[in-house]
Amino acid sequence: MKILRRMGRGLLAPMFVTGGLDAVRHPEGKAARASTVVDPVAGTFGLPDDPAPFVRLNGGVQMVGGALLGLGLFTRLSAVALAASLVPTTLAGHPFWAEADASARATQRTQFLKNAAMLGGLLLVAADGA
């Protein structure tokens, strides 16, 4: 079972490391979509409403969490952090319910479900912790 855990973590990690790196380096590409999640939170807590720093922060969490998960270090903590970062990423990035075009809706639904599957994998890692 140890080899399966290692393989599972190794397959989950790269998506977060590469996606996080992209978000840190190029937040402007994701900022417009992120504003749908950032604006209500920023308004409620009196935070700046510029989504770019939040995109970078989320990307940093994903980079570090993905690296730790892939290395098998702090697996529970990294899985929980990644799961927490994945929720706003998914809600902002793949709102299939808001797409008018059927093809775009199908693409976004697939991406939403892919993220939901990764969330399920992270929850299993968090519960297992090995």
Q: What is the pLDDT of residues 13-32, one digit of tens each?
A: 999 999 999 999 999 989 99
From CA 52, how far away is CA 86, in angstroms rounded? Answer: 17
Question: Is the pLDDT reported for residue 1 higher than 80?
Answer: no
Q: Which residues of 65-87 are buried (b: 16+ CB within 10 A; e: fewer)?
A: bbbbbbeeeebeebbbbbbebbe
Query: pLDDT per residue over 31-82, tens digit each?
Result: 999 998 999 988 889 888 899 999 999 999 999 999 999 999 999 999 999 9
pLDDT at 130: 63
The pair of three-digit structure tokens given for residue 84, joined into one six-digit string: 């927490």
Q: Alpha-carbon torsion 118, 10, 76, 21, what sign?
A: negative
pLDDT at 49: 85
Query: pLDDT per residue over 88-125, tens digit each?
Result: 999 999 999 999 999 999 999 999 999 999 999 999 99
SS3 for 105?
A: helix
Q: Are the CB atoms for 122 and 82 separated by under 8 Å?
A: yes
- pTM, two decimals, is 0.91
pLDDT at 42: 87
Domain count, the chain: 1
Domain ranges, residue 7: 2-128
From CA 58, how far away is CA 49, in angstroms rounded? Answer: 15
